[in-house]
Amino acid sequence: MNAAERSHLMLLGRGEEVSPATPRTETLEPTVAQLVENLGNSPACILGRRWDFLAWNRAFTVCFCDPMKYPEGRRNHLWSIFTDPVRRACVTDWESGARAALARFRADNARHLGDPDFEELIEALREASEEFRCWWKRHEVARSGTGRKELNHKAVGKLWFEHAVFKLEESPEQRLVLYSPLPRANTAAKVEQLLTGTART
């Protein structure tokens, strides 16, 4: 087992660290939401404890997805990855990224065993996605949220980002996901085109 898997096993074995179920509704400090919007051509979003989208900027919307297009209760990062065919089509290495995200979600889920909100989402994803149903059974666990992401956007072509995940000090179960444009393929300029509506369609 790797370090993340050993930590996950210890957490499950001890049990006492599992958080009690908390209400579905999460609040976000307005200052944090404004910070995300001010990140300009760096796509960014804030995820809650269940990986629900709490805030996002326009760059995230034009590059990845618009969380508002999903129904209430499904404005969720994993839901967008596993059920949105448009988002899936633009990610060049979708399977690798989806499995890595699922492994990180499993590590978070271990702290909320028995939480009906998590159980409801997991069951819905099992029904909606054959890949989720198959990979969830593998019990893969991971911690790192850093790496590179390559997109093949239908309007501007290749986009390259370096991404990292940061936990918020005031709300440690919420995290900022930040995608920084890389110089490769003039990504920053292409994102700006998408933001200003000057990209080809």
Both tokens of 87, joined, read 């988002």
How far apart are the C-alpha atoms of 73 and 93, rounded to whole Å? 27
Q: What is the pTM of this model?
A: 0.86
**Architecture of the 29-196 domain:** 2-Layer Sandwich (3.30)
Q: Where are the domains of the chain?
A: 29-196
Residue 14 has pLDDT above 90, yes or no: no
pLDDT tens-digit map of 78-93? 999 999 999 999 999 9
Reduced to 3 states, what is the DSSP secondary structure of residue 178?
A: strand
